[in-house]
Structure 1
Amino acid sequence: MQEILVLYYSHRGSVRALAEQIAIGIHQVPGAVARVRTVPRVSTVCEAVEDEIPADGPAYVEPRDLAECAGLALGSPSRFGNMAAPMKYFLDGLAGEWANGVLTGKPACVFSSSASLHGGQESTLLTMMVPLLHHGMLLLGIPYAETRLNTTRSGGSPYGATHVAGMDGLPEPTADEAELARAQGRRLAETALRLAGER
């Protein structure tokens, strides 16, 4: 079985809900399984401020999760068109993994959620791709062959799965958003399996 790391930060639950849909898509591919992880919140002085073990939900990511994964789905809420500080703080600490090429050649995708319809989702996805490119990862989007990209009236992007949570912070994705997230998970898993077979 090839393990695909689904790594995210979620403040109010909407990115977590997308991560769960991506994990479902990964599990739909025979030979692939999702390993879901998160990162802790950070304080205003950029230190992790959570307990070592989360109170609920997935475990915090560890270096071995990156080394052992065959692919990576990375998710964050949009913060003024950029990823949230906890995810940036985590990525900024990966100099050792970068120097050792831990993620080089592995496929990756990104996903995000925002409160407003034009809340910077696509720029958030694009800025999340930059550190993955520095790590030598192979980036995957969602092709327009996924017909829901043409029918969605909320989230969904060729750059990656997205969700519009609204000002009330509704965590559950719409049917279109959920299916696009599952499709992204399937595409990531299928690509990881193909690449693993060629190594």
Structure 2
Amino acid sequence: MDVLILYYSRSGNTENLARQAARGVERVEGMTARLRRIPCPDGKQPEQGDPEVTLEDLRECRGLLLGSPTYFGGMASAVKRFLEDTSGLWFRGEMVGKPAGVFTSTGSMHGGQETTLLSMIVPLIHHGMLITGIPYQHPELAHTQTGGTPYGASHTVNDHATLSRDERELTQALGARVAEIASRLA
């Protein structure tokens, strides 16, 4: 059973989170991470990397982890545009009842992580998805000095080009949580 890890990333930070989420998904027996990227609107695609997402990926998945960098406290326009193009799935109720989680990367500690995560959750609720976050029982939430919120996983770039230990742990925990819920629902 696949959990779709769908992301948009220009600098690689959100893609790094996606890879950690995949590690979390694959800790759950019987679950597989399906990494897909949202295309760049300017047509400048990476030469290598994950395949572009199709609507079929959304239809086939048992759960979804959606990632976007933060721009002015919200999701990237490419992510919003992609979500707007899923109205056919919404009309037929094809995403109803599937678990979902979100993740983001920001340039600074107060760059809008939580508002971005919340903005990404809204269309998933309209699809009838079951939103999951990261419970406070994960100790990293209490002591992180970089990214991580109960609304979803995050990375604060600041002077940290690589993911901190807390960011890795929380992102993997979110991936595992979505996968566990998808497995139980199946």
TM-score range, shorter chain: over 0.9
Distance 1:152 1:34 in 2: 26
- Alpha-carbon contact 1:9-1:77 (below 8 Å) kept: yes
Distance 2:156 2:96 in 1: 32
Partner of 1:35: 34
1:173 partnered with 2:163: yes
Q: Which aligned runs of 4 or more in structure 1 are off by greater than 6 angstroms?
A: none
Corresponding letter in the other structure for 1:183: A
How big is the alpha-carbon RMSD for the aligned residues of Structure 1 and Structure 2?
A: 1.2
After superposition, give the CA deviation of every residue in 1:32-63 in whole Å (9 maximum; x if it has no partner).
010000011114xxxxx256xx5211000011
After superposition, give the CA deviation of every residue in 1:107-137 in whole Å (9 maximum; x if it has no partner).
0000000001100000000000000000000
- Alpha-carbon contact 1:12-1:169 (below 8 Å) kept: no
Larger mean Cα displacement after TM superposition, 153-162 or 96-105: 96-105
SS at match of 1:22: helix
In the superposition, the TM-score normalised over structure 2's length comes to: 0.97
1:193 partnered with 2:177: no
Partner of 1:88: 80
Corresponding letter in the other structure for 1:131: P
Corresponding letter in the other structure for 1:184: L
After superposition, give the CA deviation of every residue in 1:8-36 in whole Å (9 maximum; x if it has no partner).
00110110000000000001111101000
After superposition, give the CA deviation of every residue in 1:131-150 in whole Å (9 maximum; x if it has no partner).
00000000000000111100
1:63 partnered with 2:55: yes
Deviation at 1:75, TM superposition (A): 0.3
- Alpha-carbon contact 1:76-1:111 (below 8 Å) kept: yes
Corresponding letter in the other structure for 2:175: G
1:121 partnered with 2:120: no
Deviation at 1:169, TM superposition (A): 7.3
**How many residues are aligned here?**
186
Distance 1:50 1:135 in 2: 29
Deviation at 1:78, TM superposition (A): 0.4
Distance 1:112 1:42 in 2: 19
Distance 1:72 1:95 in 2: 16
Distance 1:16 1:104 in 2: 26
Distance 1:177 1:169 in 2: 11
- Please, which of 45, 67, 70 is the counterpart of residue 78 of structure 1? 70
In the superposition, the TM-score normalised over structure 1's length comes to: 0.91
- Please, which of 139, 151, 154 is the counterpart of residue 143 of structure 2? 151
SS at match of 2:143: coil
- Please, which of 141, 159, 162 is the counterpart of residue 133 of structure 2? 141
Task: Give % identity.
Answer: 49
Mark the runs of 5 or more structure 2 residues left unpaired by the alignment: none
Deviation at 1:160, TM superposition (A): 0.3
Deviation at 1:177, TM superposition (A): 0.4
